[in-house]
Structure 1
Amino acid sequence: MRNSFLIAKNNFNIIFKKKSSIVTYILLPIISILFLLFIQFLSKAEVYNIGIVNKDIGTLSKDMMSYLESTKKFTLLSIEEDEIKDKVTKSETSYVIIIPEDFEGSILKNHPKDIEILTIKDQDTTIWIKNYINMYIENLRIISSVSKDSKDFYEIYEGYKINGKMSLEGKSMEDLTGKKAFTTSAMGIFIIFLMYTSINISKLIIKEKREKTYYRICVSPISSKQYILGNVITNLLIIGFQLLVVILILMKIIKLNTNYLNFFILMIVFGIVVVCLGVLIISFANSSMSVSGITNFIVVPSSMLGGCFWSISRRGELLRKISLLMPQSYVMDGIEKIQGNLHFKDLIPNLAILMLFALAFLSIAAYKMKVNKSIGEFL
């Protein structure tokens, strides 16, 4: 173990011999998140045009429409049912909400009728609109459950409106949705930078092969496993520092209410996977140029399939199955679980699969380095 730490110390001396390496290996992934945060602050939120088909004549449906408009995310337009197809296909409305007949009566009976949402666009915003509506209906359902009769319901409901809780809940929902969306996107980009950074650090092995240092090490008391472990330690210390800074950004700037310990554990386990992947690539590379080629061939496509650029749920069945072969998909799924305030036990399957990836990569790399006797030519 001591030999591995000595190798790690030597790696740090080599890496940070140049001041520019601090930017390349430590700051670049962090800067990427800050850049995304800056872009988010500059961008204006899109306002969606929503057509409303209100088949109910009660006040609750009208109040719900006012509530949606109060979020300043939607512009509502009353339309007839036979206008739906024309309005949607001509993009005059992004979405259509259909409020069923006797909606208010179903609320009073504590059995709310479903509200239908129609669109030809992506389903992500549909889910967002449903969350707003479901939150509103859930508040009405709670009032209904504690009311003795309809008169009692309306008295409580009026007090509920006067206290302004609808607007407060709407603002909270908007903020939370935006923060979660930003965190998911930012971590997808961070994962890609993390992979490139880790593999670049592992290129030290290529440098030492070219200078024959690696082969002198391997005939010394230091084994190939100790040598690999030293490189793993180097990578993990740098990744750990990056993660701590990212967590500080999430806590102090984004102010995301989540379990940061679970987040750190998930990302550090993925860091182990990335480090082992880097060592695996180096063990099969014939030159410095081939390392770059293999890295580009693996990192970007696997990240796309793994959900770093867009959600896996938006893909077809075949692509969803293929994504299960990518370690990134288990990280992105874990991030969604953490943001959903699930417990650590819910992350165990993700962590176990990631460790299996790491074990497989590291075992193959260690075996390859042990049996590889040739020095080769490096460009």
Structure 2
Amino acid sequence: MNSLIIALGIIKRTIGNRKGILLHILVPALVISALIGLMGDGGDDTAQVLYMNRDTGAAGSHLIKELGRNDSYRLSEAASESDIKEALLQRKAAAAFIIPPEFTDRLLKGSPAPVELSELTMSEASFALRMNIDHQVGLAAMQTAMLKTAGEPLERMPRVFEQTEKHQVTTKTSDLGLYSNASLGFVTGFLLMFLMGLVNTSVSAVIEDRKRNTMTRMFAAPVRSGEIALGNFLGSFLLGTLQIVVVLAVTKYAIGYRYGLPFWEHLLLLEFFLLAVIGISSSVAGFVRNSENLSAINAMIATPTCMLGGCFWPVAIMPEFMQKLSHFVPQSWAIEGIKRLASGQSIEELWMHLTVLALFAVVLLGLGSVVLKPGETDSA
């Protein structure tokens, strides 16, 4: 009961008014969401491809239908060539193509008219489009040649196109989940740095209690030191959980960033990392005596561990000895775990990552409960 009272007191002091909610919940969520929205691959990344069909025959419309089946781009009809040029220059479209007026006639004669393809720069979408155009035109030419060989009238060509568009024999592409979102590591790094900010918040609250002799009165009262440590832990944990839920909800459902992993499993892994962060804050709180040193804490603990753990760049690009050192900070385990979840692994397969994060929490919280004693501040 005493621990719960202490926890509720921490929450009330932190977000018990409009200013606290704004500074500790809304502003961090909006800032991180803005960063993720700017650098993350959140929305619909399907490339836009414009087209104009000047052919009045069956081959032109058939080509449009077949090209539209490709998931590498999204087709949209353009009103004029000037619209195509403007869209390409403004990078609103990855590529564009124009089907010539005599496309069907020349195809039936055995010499298909070239489809005019325009692109500002080579891209995956434009390359896929070029390959698909060549394939479809070649397939239509082969079908025309087969009709001629069989002695069938070329007027039956539209019927052949109709049968082709039914795709009675199709292929199925399976996403094996072997690759996660390319920006997921950096986005996760932002989230972990945000959680590391709890170090300053928790330390600030403890220092304030020590400076105002609130902690001294706690220890003088019939309250065990374990209850005080548990109260500080519960308050920080509930506050951190609220912050995580808000940030994930805003980035996933409002911004539309595609993490590529289930919400609750993502939340669970971040909760384990939160435990480790609270352990760090509890340990630091027992040694810091002056609130002016809080900025130095962030410089000496949060920033270096985030750098070593892969929040700013992939761990794989660091020297081998630094890659080994990264296993001694919780950020690397959290980032790797989230990437594995996004790659298709289940939460049960990440038992090692969860266990290591839990060990970080147990060891550091144990240290924090030992050193968390009332004492004089440097400014006293």
Evaluate the alpha carbon distance shift between residue 26 and residue 378 of structure 1 in structure 2; reply closer, same or farther with a 3 A threshold.
Answer: farther
Q: Is the CA contact 1:266–1:331 (under 8 Å) kept in the aligned structure 2?
A: yes
Partner of 1:140: none
Structure 1 position 273 matched with structure 2 position 272: no
CA distance in 1, matches of 2:8, 2:287: 25
Partner of 1:261: 264
Structure 1 position 32 matched with structure 2 position 36: no
Partner of 2:113: none
Partner of 2:247: 246
CA distance in 1, matches of 2:316, 2:330: 16
358-367 vs 256-265, which deviates more?
256-265
Which secondary structure does the structure 1 equivalent of 2:197 belong to?
helix
Partner of 2:13: 14
Partner of 2:235: 234
Partner of 1:342: 345
CA distance in 2, matches of 1:367, 1:42: 44
Q: How does 1:132-211 map to 2 (within 5 A)?
A: 180-211=181-212
| CA displacement 1:122-167 (0-9 Å, x = unmatched) | xxxxxxx9xx99xx9xxxxxxxxxxxxxxxxxxxxxx79x79989x
Amino acid aligned to 1:5: L
CA distance in 2, matches of 1:226, 1:315: 42
CA distance in 2, matches of 1:245, 1:289: 30
Q: How does 1:60-99 map to 2 (within 5 A)?
A: 71=72
Runs of 4 or more above 6 Å deviation: 41-45, 162-166
Partner of 1:214: 215
Q: Is the CA contact 1:224–1:366 (under 8 Å) kept in the aligned structure 2?
A: yes
Amino acid aligned to 1:226: E
| CA displacement 1:306-343 (0-9 Å, x = unmatched) | 01111112222111111111110000010111101102
Q: Is the CA contact 2:190–2:311 (under 8 Å) kept in the aligned structure 1?
A: yes
Amino acid aligned to 1:261: W
Structure 1 position 324 matched with structure 2 position 331: no
CA displacement at 1:360 relative to structure 2: 1.3
Evaluate the alpha carbon distance shift between residue 164 and residue 375 of structure 1 in structure 2; reply closer, same or farther with a 3 A threshold.
Answer: farther
Structure 1 position 225 matched with structure 2 position 215: no
CA displacement at 1:352 relative to structure 2: 0.7
Q: Is the CA contact 2:7–2:235 (under 8 Å) kept in the aligned structure 1?
A: yes
Amino acid aligned to 1:4: S
Evaluate the alpha carbon distance shift between residue 31 and residue 319 of structure 1 in structure 2; reply closer, same or farther with a 3 A threshold.
Answer: same
Amino acid aligned to 1:236: F
CA distance in 2, matches of 1:315, 1:209: 41
Q: Is the CA contact 2:41–2:258 (under 8 Å) kept in the aligned structure 1?
A: no
CA displacement at 1:197 relative to structure 2: 3.0
Evaluate the alpha carbon distance shift between residue 254 and residue 362 of structure 1 in structure 2; reply closer, same or farther with a 3 A threshold.
Answer: same
CA distance in 2, matches of 1:350, 1:316: 22
| CA displacement 1:248-286 (0-9 Å, x = unmatched) | 245432244422222111100111111111111111012
Evaluate the alpha carbon distance shift between residue 3 and residue 42 of structure 1 in structure 2; reply closer, same or farther with a 3 A threshold.
Answer: closer
Which secondary structure does the structure 2 equivalent of 1:180 belong to?
coil
| CA displacement 1:224-260 (0-9 Å, x = unmatched) | 2211211111111122122222332454322444222
CA distance in 1, matches of 2:273, 2:41: 31
2:296 to 293, 297, 320: 293
Which secondary structure does the structure 2 equivalent of 1:247 belong to?
helix
CA distance in 2, matches of 1:230, 1:293: 26
Q: Is the CA contact 2:276–2:357 (under 8 Å) kept in the aligned structure 1?
A: yes
Identity of aligned residues (%): 22
Evaluate the alpha carbon distance shift between residue 209 and residue 35 of structure 1 in structure 2; reply closer, same or farther with a 3 A threshold.
Answer: same
182-191 vs 31-40, which deviates more?
31-40
Amino acid aligned to 1:366: S
Amino acid aligned to 1:241: L
Q: Is the CA contact 2:279–2:361 (under 8 Å) kept in the aligned structure 1?
A: yes
Q: Is the CA contact 2:286–2:368 (under 8 Å) kept in the aligned structure 1?
A: yes
How many residues align structurally?
271
Amino acid aligned to 2:210: K
Partner of 1:366: 369
Q: Which has the higher relative contact order, 1 or 2, with Cα contacts under 8 A spaced 6 or more apart?
A: 2
Q: Is the CA contact 1:210–1:377 (under 8 Å) kept in the aligned structure 2?
A: no
TM norm structure 2: 0.62
Evaluate the alpha carbon distance shift between residue 228 and residue 186 of structure 1 in structure 2; reply closer, same or farther with a 3 A threshold.
Answer: same
Amino acid aligned to 1:294: I
Q: CA RMSD of the aligned region, Å?
A: 3.8
Amino acid aligned to 2:8: K
Amino acid aligned to 2:265: N
Amino acid aligned to 2:209: E
Evaluate the alpha carbon distance shift between residue 308 and residue 237 of structure 1 in structure 2; reply closer, same or farther with a 3 A threshold.
Answer: same
CA displacement at 1:207 relative to structure 2: 0.4
CA distance in 1, matches of 2:273, 2:10: 21
| CA displacement 1:50-88 (0-9 Å, x = unmatched) | xxxxxxxxxxxxxxxx9xx9957xxxxxxxxxxxxxxxx
Q: Which has the higher helix share?
A: 1
CA distance in 1, matches of 2:379, 2:170: 67
